[in-house]
Each structure stands twice: as C-alpha cells, then as structure tokens.
C-alpha cells in the first residue's frame, strides 16, 4: 500500500559524516530525539529515522549540503514543520534530513505589488502576523501552521481555496537548489509570464523529489473590508452541497465554505465547547465591501432556505469568527478525541462538484458500517473532502479496515473523474492510486525525475516507485 | 536575435512521404499555397516552409503522425490558427506542420462543474458561442480568435487576466500525444489536486516542444449578472496607473483594465471611428451583481478623480460595449494603419505593477525619439504592456532600430524584476532574453526537453537553443 519498501540501509560513511561536521558544526545532529523528530510523522506511517539531521541557515548551506550528499550518494530529505499527513517527509531510505525551519526570514514585502518573498522555513501564521500592518494577507490556510516551503512542496490549499486558489496559484516564483547544486530562480516577480517552461509549477507539488526549495515569492491579497462568517445546519447532505453549487453558479465569490457531517459536528461540539445542532452543517465566510457581503449573504441565505437549510448563526465579531474557525481548524483533533486512546488516520479526495453529494453519501454509508468512529469534513466549494478515522493504534484489524474503506473511497473518487488527493500530496500513502489515476502520465513524471535527479537521492521513495 | 539558425534542410525521404500519403490520403498537403500558409506568421519573422502539411482529425491521427515522424527523424510542428506573434509555429527546420484546426469539436460541457472539454483546434469565439445558453463563459481573451490548443501552448492571457487569470489558471487538464506516441491525460477533472508533478502546467506554455496537445479541459465562469464598461482619460500616465494600483489595493475585482497611450488612442479613433480625447486612457470593465458593480464603479471613479482622471464615459448597452472592446481588440491593426504600407512589429513585457509607470514612461521616451510611429497599450492590472511599431517592411535600418528599442525595453523590464514576455511566449523572438531572464533555470528546461524529446523533433528551434 505504501509504495516501494526501502532497500537495506548501510550506515553513513564516517568520512562523509566528518565532512558534514566540518561544514555544519553544531547544526549537524545525530541525537536519538532529533532523529526521531525527523523520522516521525503526524499520521499513521511507520517512523523511519534519518542517519543525520542538518539545520540549514541559508541557501548556501543547502547548496553545500546537496553537493556533499550527492558526492557521497546519500539521500537528502527536506523537512519543514513536519505537519504533512501522507508521510511526505519521512526519510524512508535514511540519509540526511535537512531542517529548513531556521530559514524563516521574511526577505521582502512589496505591498504595492501584492507580493512577498520568504525563506522556505517561514510559517504561514508568522507571515500573516508580519503582514498585518500592510493591509494584505496570505490566504492559503491548510489548518496546520505549516512552513511556506512545505506548503509549496505539497501543493497545499485548505479553507480559502475556493476564493483564492491553492499554492499552485499563490506561488509567483521559487528559489530552488537543484540536484546538481545550482541555485535557480524559476520566475521573475511579474504577475504573469509566458517565458519558457513553467518550472515554478513543476516544483510546486514535487514534494522535494526534484530539488530543495529555499525561498518562495508569494502573491498576497488585500484584507477584505468586511468579513462575515456564519454556520447553517441542513436537513440533508444533498441540500447543503446543492446550496454551495447554486451559490457559485450565481457568481457569489464565497471565501470559505466548509462541510462538516453530523459526526464531525458532534466531535467539534465536545472538543470546542460549542452547541451546534448535530446535523450536516456548512461553515461560511464572506469577504468584500459591506454592500457586497450583504448581497452575498442574501443570495446564499435564500438558496440555503430553498435547500432545507436552517437559520444562519452569524459571527461578525473578530473574536466570534476566530472561535468558529478555530473549531474548524481543530476538527482533526476533535475527531480523534471521539475515542480515548485513538490515533488519527486522515485521507482526502477531490471530485467534480456535481458528483460530490453522491461521493459523500456513499462514503458516509461506508463509515456508518465501520467498526470505528470516522468523520467527514471538507472544502465543499472545491469538491474536496476529508475522512478522519479515530483508530486503535494497536489493532491490525482496524488498520486493515481503514485501508479497505480508504481504497473504496479513492476508487469511488476516481470513478467520478476525481483525484486521489486534493491537497495532501502523494507521499507514501497514495502511490498506487496515482498510477490508477493518471496511468502513462506517471511514466512522464518518472522521466522528469530521472532527468533531474538521476541517482534518486532527493526524497527518494516518494510520489512513485522509480 | 531570432535563436539558432536552421541547419541545412534535406528533402523528405520519398518513402516517408509515401507512408504519410497512405495513412492520411487527402489530409496530406504539399501545395505551394498550403505550405506558405503554414510557414508564414502574423509578425515580422521570415517565412520558412514546412515540407508537408497534415490535417489531423483525431488524437489517433496525431499519434500515427507522431510515430511516423519520429521513426523517420522528421520534425513535427503543431499549427492552430496561426495567430501567435513570436514566430511560435514557424517550422524553422522544415518537416511536417500538423494542422489541428479541423479538431474543433466541443467534447463535453459540464455546467454544474463549471468546466468543458474541447479539441485543441476549437476557437475561443466558437466556444463562447456554444456556451451562451449555459450561463457560463470562457474568459481568456487574447484578442485574436485563436485556437484553445494554441492558447494553452503559448500560455495566452489578455484583457480579462486581471480578474480571471491566464491559461495557466484556466486549464484543468490536457490530453497530450507525447514524443513516444503515447496519449496521456495530465489530470482528472477535479478543480484541484495534489497528485504528483503538475504536468498540466508543464505543457501549458511549452509551445509544442514537448508533445502535441489534442484536447483541453477548461474552467468556466458564470456570466456576470451585470457588466459595465467605461473609458476615462488621464492628465498623466502615472495618474492612470496609480488609479489601477489603488483600485486593486482597495479590493475592487476589476474584470478588465486596459491602458492606451495618446498615440494608440489616435490610431483607434481613426481606425474605429471614435472621438476619444487623445490622452492616456483607461478602458474599464466591471463584472458582478448590480450592487457590486455600482460599488466598484464608485470606488474607481473616486480614485480616478483623485489621480487626474476625467469623466467616465459609460457603455452599458451590450452594443456599445461590444463597439468599445472591438476597438480595443483592433488596436493592433489600428496602430499598423497609422502608416500606409507599414507592417506590424509587436512585443510585450510584464513588470511588477509598482514599476509600471516608470517602465512605460521610459519606453515612451524611447518611442518619441524613434523615426517610426509606435503605440503602447497594455493590461495594466497585470503590469503587462505591448509596444506596436508600424514598420517599413523594406527598411533594414528601421528593422535594426526596432530591434534596438525592443532590446532596451526588455532590458528595462528585466532590470525591474519583470519578464521578457507576459503573454506572447518565447518562440523565435525572445530566446536570448529568456536566458538573460532566468539564467541557469533555462538549463533545467533543456534537461526536461532532452528527456522528453531526445531527438529534438517537436517544434525544434523554439524557446531555447538546445
């Protein structure tokens, strides 16, 4: 299920380690706790330790590390905040984990151009904190306080994507250390360009397999004059999804629209001390001028009423809104907490929005028959949703059951012309499905990988078996 | 200036031609007029004839043609509507031009999913005609009635890009015939995906050098409830640009905002029988609900007034609006017509919007000192503008002068962290500049090209010298 098994490991050559120590001194780590931190993951994948960890403090550090690793034939795996959930940063073939978390400088902000450049280890919350006085913000919000480099590497998106796009749209340019140790800049700072192959988009979502991103130039957006948030419960799941489809069709520029099933609402109520009716619920956010927001709200309210929605419960004060979205962001932990002692097992798919009601309904039927608790929540405006299982970590039967349900979920999404992952990436967990999804196109990816990383040293074992 | 010179041509092997004739029958052409049509271009590049033209009627036709050409080592160059302006489709090394214009079917429209799939030869106007009853439209509008495949291949954009993005954002998925004759689909129809390398974006903008696009799945948008258009003259160019920057900063979702300099307005007045004041002018279009459009108009009107703008002249009736945008679309022909007997020579650059006033002002100074007429017009919301020269086709001096001005223009844009082409592509005309712009990143492009097309048979000689 989880891609090719790692080949037998050989210990690092002491001479190589000595060169690392000479070059990186106290930024080279081999303590058990440090190795464990970089070999673990927030999901259910086995811990695989790197042989060493190096903290990079500059692009030059990364260049030198790349050259040393490539010369010695040692794998090199970039590590940001460790919040990915398909095992994307697990060093399955050992080698060096390069931690970019200290490269967290905000290099430049150009408010007039609506862009900024940050080092790869900058976290998204840190960036928005920094931007506050400029009147601009960086909208991509995957929930976790991930690094911008990690978000670029996994093509992250999240709750705002229906309005502001994903990392695919947000990244203007990247600074990348290539496998041959060169530093390239993939694009200039112009908002658009027709100059050659789109290397920016090639590296966005490549999960560290083609080189190491050290800087990211991002598009920013003006903080809306008015932000209004609401929740609305629905009689049926179809009614909730239809409301969203019709809203988009009416041209309403929804900023956020999240679906939480009854089970997820139950979990959120318990975890975040809320008292929402335990039915399928939409969380909305509207951005715009006061007039535009009022208009959006009117249209969506009318459509919700026509589709079996209840009253809108409004959160117009920043504190109330923050509470609502905090509850949404903690939905993963809330779902896991449904069952004491459980670990989380999360998956995501994305389908054309017309197929979403059917996809979610069939999935819900599967979950209802399962022996363990599971919730559904998702970015309904994009056709993207998650299933979170609260799994007994010691039960092989439950693991097999979850894998079977996940396999049916992905097969269902693919049959609907959807994708096996809307925003988590392939990592270790979705490799077989990628081939099912894209067939011969995966061979083209392999050709690109072999051309750019002929010795397979950059995050080897991820996305596809070579 | 125009990339590598073609190597000496050898005539096609008669046995190869015989195989083409067997397979394609009356879709194989070698008449002088047909060869000339596929060897010419809308710009100033020398005509280079292909050895043969094949009209493809299906993806299977393209597969068979690719296999025949690759087996014989014959170049293959895709041809759509022939409206590109950097010589992108000129078969500089001969071989077979494959005309995709007959592959113009609209394969599927999914109104609920806001997407459609078309064959590569479908034209954008044909698509919008077809979509009219669905309430949706395809916004990308480069002016010319180009094919969707050609627009994808050159990463086209145009007047609506400030609101709706470019072909980079518009394309959901591609069907591509690869150099080894396989048919791949680069993505599923889900609106977003984190599944592996972004092959869709790799092929968008690759100008036929990595394979041949035969189908395109596109994102569509709801036709706005209200569309309102206006023109506004400004005392200064800076005032016009500042109005746009401040509008965007205020969160106004401008649908179109085009700048035309005084010379371009003079040309448009003469060509389209208008009577606009001959000053720097902005053409606006606002999309949204009636309330939202009214609000946008109020904000932009206020900002224009603060920045030396005159009264807004409104075109709210569809006929008036169509007349206004027809004038804008014909600006190229209008500029060329400034001088009887002239040919057009167009270039484009794109810079961070904060640098746009300076970039345009310096360029205007250059044009004022030139010995031939030239106009400026552009997509000011993106920082992208064009210069159009009305050049004497028989004057080597003028050609040299235009090239020198263009060289200064591109150098200026690059010095401002801009790009040598916002939307025309590299083709033949911008190859030296691509290297200047992206340095070692172009080597990465070469690695990709060699990996996917090792014999350099797909639109050879374009984008970069191998």
| Beta strand B256-260 pairing with B374-379 | antiparallel
Supply the pLDDT for residue B4. Answer: 47
Do A94 and A114 reside in the same domain of the chain? no
B6 part of a folded domain: no
Which of A102, A135, A168 is a domain's end point? Answer: A102
d(CA A372, CA A345): 11
Strand partners, B184: B176
A108 touches chain B (CB under 8 A): no
d(CA A40, CA A50): 10
Task: Provide the token pair at B152.
Answer: 């994808």
Task: Provide the token pair at A243.
Answer: 């409301």
Q: Cβ distance A182 to A71 under 8 Å?
A: no
Taking phi over 0 as left and psi of -120 to 50 as alpha, with beta for the rest, B395 belongs to: beta
- Which has the closest alpha carbon to B279: B294, B289, B264, B295? B264
d(CA A111, CA A136): 7
Q: Which residue has the higher pLDDT, B112 or A80?
A: A80
Chain A residues touching residue B359 (CB < 8 angstroms): none
Chain B residues touching residue A172 (CB < 8 angstroms): none
Chain A residues touching residue B295 (CB < 8 angstroms): 289, 291-292
Supply the pLDDT for residue A3. Answer: 43
Do B395 and B357 reside in the same domain of the chain? yes
Alpha helix (H) residue ranges in B218-355: 237-249, 262-272, 290-306, 318-329, 331-336
Q: Cβ distance A463 to A209 under 8 Å?
A: yes
Q: In sequence order, which residues have a C-beta less than 8 Å from that of residue B253 and are 6 or more positions away?
A: A253, B163, B287, B288, B296
B149 touches chain A (CB under 8 A): no
**CATH number for B152:** 3.30.465.10
Shortest CB distance from A448 goes to which of B194, B245, B451?
Answer: B451
B167 part of a folded domain: yes
Residue B6, pLDDT > 60, answer no
B154 touches chain A (CB under 8 A): yes
DSSP summary character for residue B355? G
Do B286 and B359 reside in the same domain of the chain? no
d(CA B143, CA B423): 12
Task: Provide the token pair at A460.
Answer: 């080897």
Supply the pLDDT for residue B117. Answer: 98
d(CA B230, CA B311): 10
Which of B45, B68, B102 is a domain's end point? Answer: B102
Q: In sequence order, which residues have a C-beta less than 8 Å from that of residue B420 and are 6 or more positions away?
A: A195, B349, B410, B413, B414, B426, B430, B433, B434, B436, B437
**CATH number for B230:** 3.30.70.2190
Supply the pLDDT for residue A319. Answer: 87
Q: In sequence order, which residues have a C-beta less than 8 Å from that of residue B225 and are 6 or more positions away?
A: A251, B288, B289, B290
Do A98 and A110 reside in the same domain of the chain? no
d(CA A264, CA A385): 12
d(CA B223, CA B287): 9
B361 touches chain A (CB under 8 A): no
**CATH number for A408:** 3.30.70.2740
Q: Cβ distance A393 to A428 under 8 Å?
A: no
Confidence of residue B79 (pLDDT cuts 50, 70, 90): very high
d(CA B392, CA B343): 6
Do A321 and A401 reside in the same domain of the chain? no
* Chain segment B249-291, per-residue pLDDT in tens: 788 899 999 999 999 999 999 999 999 999 999 999 999 888 8
Shortest CB distance from B352 goes to which of A113, A245, A444?
Answer: A113
B451 part of a folded domain: no
Q: Which residue has the tokens 């001959």?
A: B278
Crossing angle of the two packed helices B396-415 and B356-368, in degrees rounded to 10: 160
Q: Cβ distance A341 to A366 under 8 Å?
A: no
Do B22 and B123 reside in the same domain of the chain? no
Q: Cβ distance A463 to B196 under 8 Å?
A: yes
Q: Cβ distance A339 to A390 under 8 Å?
A: yes
Shortest CB distance from A198 goes to which of B168, B225, B288?
Answer: B168
Q: Cβ distance A162 to A95 under 8 Å?
A: no
Q: Work out the number of other CB atoms within 10 angstroms of the CB of residue B181.
A: 17
Which of A55, A86, A102 is a domain's end point? Answer: A102
Shortest CB distance from A418 goes to which of B114, B190, B288?
Answer: B190
Query: What's phi and psi for B5, nearest 5 deg?
Result: -70, 145
Q: Best mutation site among A169, A189, A192 for testing chain B: the one with the most B CBs within 10 Å?
A: A192
Residue B2, pLDDT > 60, answer no
Could A418 and B225 be called an inter-chain contact, meaning their C-beta atoms sit closer than 8 Å? no
Strand partners, B314: B230
Could B445 and A199 be called an inter-chain contact, meaning their C-beta atoms sit closer than 8 Å? yes
Task: Provide the token pair at A55.
Answer: 């903290």
A440 part of a folded domain: no
Do A137 and A198 reside in the same domain of the chain? yes
Question: Which range of residues forms the domain containing residue A403?
Answer: 339-430
B466 part of a folded domain: no
Task: Provide the token pair at A350.
Answer: 């994305």
* Chain segment B11-42, per-residue pLDDT in tens: 899 999 999 999 999 999 999 999 999 999 88
Residue B316, pLDDT > 80, answer no
B60 part of a folded domain: yes
Do A140 and A97 reside in the same domain of the chain? no
Do A244 and A212 reside in the same domain of the chain? no
Query: What's phi and psi for A232, nearest 5 deg?
Result: -150, 125
Q: To the nearest 10°, the Cα dihedral for A294, A297, A301, A303?
A: 110
Shortest CB distance from B169 goes to which of A156, A169, A424?
Answer: A169
Task: Provide the token pair at A398.
Answer: 């439950």
Q: Which residue has the tokens 């439950």?
A: A398
Chain B residues touching residue A156 (CB < 8 angstroms): 194
Alpha helix (H) residue ranges in A316-395: 318-329, 331-336, 356-368
A452 part of a folded domain: no
Residue of chain B whose alpha carbon sits nearest to that of A198:
B202
Give 10-residue mean pLDDT values along chain A (466 residues): 53 95 98 96 89 98 98 98 94 97 98 95 98 95 95 95 96 98 98 97 98 98 92 93 87 93 96 94 93 91 96 86 88 94 93 92 95 95 95 94 97 98 96 98 98 98 94
Chain centroid, CA B201 distance in Å? 16
Residue B335, pLDDT > 90, answer yes
Q: In sequence order, which residues have a C-beta less than 8 Å from that of residue A410 and are 6 or more positions away?
A: A347, A349, A420, A430, A433, A436
Percent of chain B with pLDDT over 90: 85
Task: Provide the token pair at B69.
Answer: 């050409």
Do A160 and A79 reside in the same domain of the chain? no
Please report the number of interchain residue pairs, chain A to chain B, with beta-carbon separation below 8 angstroms: 299
Q: Cβ distance B45 to B391 under 8 Å?
A: no
d(CA B41, CA B45): 7
Mean pLDDT of B404-413: 98
B113 touches chain A (CB under 8 A): yes
Supply the pLDDT for residue B8. Answer: 58
Task: Provide the token pair at B26.
Answer: 């009356």
Q: Which residue has the higher pLDDT, B320 or A195?
A: A195
Crossing angle of the two packed helices B441-452 and A441-452, in degrees rounded to 10: 130
Chain A residues touching residue B217 (CB < 8 angstroms): none
Do B235 and B202 reside in the same domain of the chain? no
**Three-state SS for B309?**
strand
**CATH number for B94:** 3.30.43.10
Do B287 and B299 reside in the same domain of the chain? yes
From the CA of A44, how many Å to the nearest CA of chain B?
19
DSSP summary character for residue A6? P
- Which has the closest alpha carbon to B71: B48, B96, B52, B44? B96
From residue A282, give the alpha-carbon distance in Å to each of A241, A317, A367.
9, 19, 20
- Give ∠ CA A158-A162-A166 in degrees, rounded to 5: 50
B365 part of a folded domain: yes
- What is the total count of domains within chain B? 4
Alpha helix (H) residue ranges in A232-289: 237-249, 262-272
Task: Provide the token pair at A3.
Answer: 């891609």
Q: Cβ distance A255 to A287 under 8 Å?
A: yes
d(CA A292, CA A286): 9
- Alpha-carbon Rg for chain B, nearest whole angstrom, is 22
From the CA of A312, how many Å to the nearest CA of chain B?
22
Shortest CB distance from B444 goes to which of A178, A289, A440?
Answer: A178
Q: Which residue has the tokens 């060093």?
A: A91
Q: Cβ distance B412 to B405 under 8 Å?
A: no
- Which has the closest alpha carbon to A327: A414, A267, A278? A267
d(CA A402, CA A410): 12
- Which has the closest alpha carbon to B339: B382, B389, B289? B389
Q: Which residues of A212-246 are buried (b: 16+ CB within 10 A; e: fewer)?
A: bbbbbbbbbbbbbebbbbbbbbbeebbbbbbbbbb
Mean confidence (pLDDT) of chain B: 94
From the CA of B459, how many Å to the nearest CA of chain A?
14
Q: Cβ distance A45 to A425 under 8 Å?
A: no
Euclidean distance between the first and the last CA atom of chain A, given in angstroms as a whole number = 16
Euclidean distance between the first and the last CA atom of chain B, given in angstroms as a whole number = 16
Task: Provide the token pair at A60.
Answer: 């030059």
d(CA B95, CA B109): 35
């Amino acid at each position: 299920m989880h891609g090719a098994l790692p080949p037998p490991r050989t210990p690092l050559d002491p001479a190589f380690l000595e060169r690392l120590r000479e070059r990186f001194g106290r930024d080279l780590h081999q303590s058990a706790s440090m190795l464990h931190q970089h070999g673990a993951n927030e999901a259910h994948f086995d811990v695989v330790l790197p042989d060493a960890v190096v903290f990079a403090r500059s692009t030059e550090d990364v260049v030198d590390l790349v050259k040393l690793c490539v010369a010695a034939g040692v794998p090199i795996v970039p590590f940001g905040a460790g919040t990915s959930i398909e095992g994307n940063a697990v060093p399955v073939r050992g080698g060096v984990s390069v931690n970019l978390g200290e490269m967290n400088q905000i290099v430049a902000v150009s408010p007039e151009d609506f862009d900024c450049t940050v080092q790869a280890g900058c976290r998204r919350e840190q960036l928005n904190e920094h931007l506050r006085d400029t009147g601009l913000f960086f909208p991509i919000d995957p929930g976790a306080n991930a690094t911008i480099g990690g978000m670029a590497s996994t093509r992250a998106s999240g709750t705002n994507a229906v309005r502001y796009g994903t990392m695919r749209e947000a990244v203007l340019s990247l600074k990348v250390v290539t496998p041959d140790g060169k530093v390239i800049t993939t694009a200039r700072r112009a908002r658009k360009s027709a100059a050659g192959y789109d290397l920016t988009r090639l590296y966005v979502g490549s999960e560290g397999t083609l080189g190491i991103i050290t800087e990211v130039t991002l598009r920013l957006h003006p903080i809306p004059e008015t932000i209004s948030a609401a929740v609305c419960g629905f009689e049926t799941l179809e009614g909730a999804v239809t409301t969203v489809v019709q809203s988009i069709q009416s041209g309403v520029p929804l900023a956020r629209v999240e679906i939480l099933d009854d089970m997820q609402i139950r979990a959120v109520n318990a975890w975040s001390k809320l008292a929402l009716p335990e039915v399928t619920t939409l969380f909305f956010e509207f951005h715009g001028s006061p007039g535009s927001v009022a208009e959006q709200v009117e249209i969506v309210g009318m459509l919700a009423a026509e589709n079996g929605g209840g009253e809108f419960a409004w959160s117009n004060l920043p504190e109330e809104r923050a509470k609502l979205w905090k509850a949404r962001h903690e939905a993963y932990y809330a779902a896991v907490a449904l069952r004491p002692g459980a670990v989380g097992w999360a998956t995501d798919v994305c389908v054309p929005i017309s197929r979403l009601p059917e996809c979610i309904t069939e999935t819900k039927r599967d979950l209802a028959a399962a022996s363990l608790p599971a919730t559904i929540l998702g970015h309904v405006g994009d056709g993207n949703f998650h299933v979170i299982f609260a799994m007994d970590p010691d039960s092989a039967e439950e693991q097999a059951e979850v894998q079977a349900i996940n396999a049916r979920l992905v097969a269902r999404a693919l049959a609907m012309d959807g994708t096996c992952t809307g925003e988590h990436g392939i990592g270790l967990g979705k490799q077989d499905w990628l081939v099912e999804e894209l067939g011969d196109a995966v061979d083209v990816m392999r050709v690109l990988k072999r051309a750019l990383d002929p010795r397979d040293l950059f995050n080897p074992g991820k996305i596809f078996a070579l």
